[in-house]
Amino acid sequence: MIEEKIKTALNGIRPSLQADGGDVEFVSVANDGTVSLRLTGACGSCPMRQMTLKMGVESALKQAVPEVTSVVGV
pLDDT in tens, 14-58: 998 899 888 999 999 999 999 999 988 888 888 888 888 888 899
- Answer whether residue 32 is part of any domain: yes
Does residue 47 lie in a domain region?
yes
Does 40 fall in a domain? yes
Which CATH number covers residue 34? Answer: 3.30.300.130
Alpha-helical runs (H) found in the chain: 2-19, 42-45, 49-51, 59-64
Is the model's pTM score more than 0.75?
Answer: yes
Whether 74 maps to a domain, the answer reads no
The total domain count for the chain is 1
What Cα–Cα distance (Å) separates residue 42 from each residue in 13, 62, 71?
15, 24, 19
In terms of residue numbers, what domain contains 33?
2-69
- DSSP secondary structure letter of residue 27: E
Task: Tell me if 52 is assigned to some domain.
Answer: yes
